[in-house]
Structure 1
């Protein structure tokens, strides 16, 4: 149990530190948007954006309800983490929790979430996000992979 909690705390600490540093660095920039690099049809910009809602600014007028929902989801993620018997699932849940924690911290500290990472693919924008959002997405993708593997193993076990 102790190793699992150390893993959880390490992931939370790393995601929180990188997210917080990226937001302070972005706040120090005084431009609207800065082109960072291009690679083929992909362009990366730093575009400081304030987000009072959820993904893509949805539900911005429901800040209290969103905060309560986020804290409830974080509590459930912590519960599942404590019940988990898989390192892959633990890492996935810790990433999702950490990203949610960072965004809740932003809302409580600043009153909004600071987003800044802006990719264009073939000149099309797909939203602006932050390190916390990337942690949530990465954790969700890893959790999806874990559940797919678990389902496949369960199917093979029942076929045998």
Structure 2
């Protein structure tokens, strides 16, 4: 696969990611939910940290996380460029890296810019390019919306640790960028021998 095709894939994912996030941000109030099926919902949440809302504590935790993500994406960009230059490398590897790059970059856009281009989503629809932004540069919140609670109930009492407790499978809320990252990592795991054929 050429670098141009990899860039086109990245651009398509970034465009789709930002369109869906902007739509949800400007058409949903924070916490609003639309049920498509009982196991498939659109639920607007904002993530201040990493996966499952994990935060780095402290005043500069969010800034550190955003700066770290930028450096990581720079490394992934170099990895993609270097992989394409070595023409013996597999298309599996190139596609996987492009997906991971696109997903990581998509979430960085939220973290870097959303705090200054959107106003608050609590109890109101957010507006874009507002004169009353909810944050500052590098302190934006990542927009998540896809929620697939495939099963919800109480676990059997005989299970150690979790027995008798309420449980939801699958309880993650995610976005297009997260899907791209997970798919890229999945390709590297499932097609490991083809991706790293050398």
Q: Tell me if both proteins adopt one fold, taking TM over 0.5 as the criterion.
A: yes
- Kept in 1: contact 2:93–2:195 (CA 8 A): no
Q: 1:121 aligns with which of 108, 129, 150?
A: 150
3-state SS of paired residue (1:144): helix
3-state SS of paired residue (2:171): strand
Name the structure 2 match of 1:47.
43
Name the structure 2 match of 1:81.
80
* Correspondences of 1:38-117 after superposition (within 5 Å): 38=38, 43-61=39-57, 62-84=61-83, 85-110=89-114, 111-117=140-146
1:11 aligns with 2:9: yes
Using the TM superposition, name which of 92-101 and 21-30 deviates more: 21-30
Name the structure 1 match of 2:162.
none
Length-normalised TM-score, structure 2: 0.68
Name the structure 2 match of 1:141.
186
Structure 2 unpaired stretches of 5+: 84-88, 115-139, 153-167
Inter-partner Cα distance in structure 1 for 2:98 and 2:8 = 9
**Number of matched pairs:** 147
Larger relative strand fraction? 1
How far did residue 70 of structure 1 move?
Answer: 1.1
Inter-partner Cα distance in structure 2 for 1:104 and 1:29 = 22
- Kept in 2: contact 1:11–1:94 (CA 8 A): yes
Inter-partner Cα distance in structure 1 for 2:36 and 2:44 = 13
Structure 1 unpaired stretches of 5+: 155-160
RMSD of Structure 2 on Structure 1 (CA): 1.9
Inter-partner Cα distance in structure 1 for 2:178 and 2:10 = 13
Inter-partner Cα distance in structure 1 for 2:62 and 2:25 = 22
Q: 1:20 aligns with which of 12, 18, 21?
A: 18
Inter-partner Cα distance in structure 2 for 1:30 and 1:64 = 26
